[in-house]
Amino acid sequence: MLLTAVGMVAIGAMEVYVPSVAQTADPTQIVVKDFMFSPTPLTIKVGSIVTWTNKDDEPHTVVSDTGVFKSGGMDTNESFSYKFDKPGTYHFTCSIHPRMVGTVIVQ
């Protein structure tokens, strides 16, 4: 078995892609792109900090439907983070674009 610098493993005539740590998605990161939150739902452990990062060219917000958390307007590449200290299901939306919705499940 040979591991190359680009993260490929050669097994006989077959190659299998193995993501490096830098290429693996952060399990507490939500990306705001194409007027969507992704991933949603996101399941995390109590005490985790979730960071939303706006990758759109338009501003967005992150607002809990129960008022637990609320970001200001986030321009391109700006982020908002919140620490979830209690288990439960948290629904959120973008107050600028209310059709954008998401969910964080805290276990």
Residue 24 has pLDDT above 70, yes or no: no
The structural domains of the chain, ordered by start, are 26-106 (2.60.40.420)
So what's the pLDDT on residue 25? 55
Beta bridge partners of 29: 51
Distances (CA, A) of 53 to 61, 73, 82: 10, 11, 12
Over residues 17-35, the mean pLDDT reads 68
How far apart CA 68 and CA 27 sit, in angstroms, is 21
Confidence of residue 18 (pLDDT cuts 50, 70, 90): very low
Give pLDDT tens digits for 54-66.
Answer: 999 999 999 999 9
How far apart CA 12 and CA 68 sit, in angstroms, is 53
What end-to-end distance do the CA atoms of the chain give, in Å?
Answer: 39
Give pLDDT tens digits for 70-102.
Answer: 999 999 999 999 999 999 999 999 999 999 999
Tokens at 39, concatenated = 């991933």
**Mean pLDDT of the chain, nearest integer:** 84
Over residues 21-43, the mean pLDDT reads 83
Confidence of residue 27 (pLDDT cuts 50, 70, 90): confident
Could you tell me where the beta strands, DSSP code E, fall in the chain?
A: 2-3, 8-11, 14-17, 29-33, 36-38, 42-44, 49-54, 63-64, 79-83, 88-93, 101-106
How far apart CA 62 and CA 101 sit, in angstroms, is 9
Higher pLDDT, 22 or 53: 53
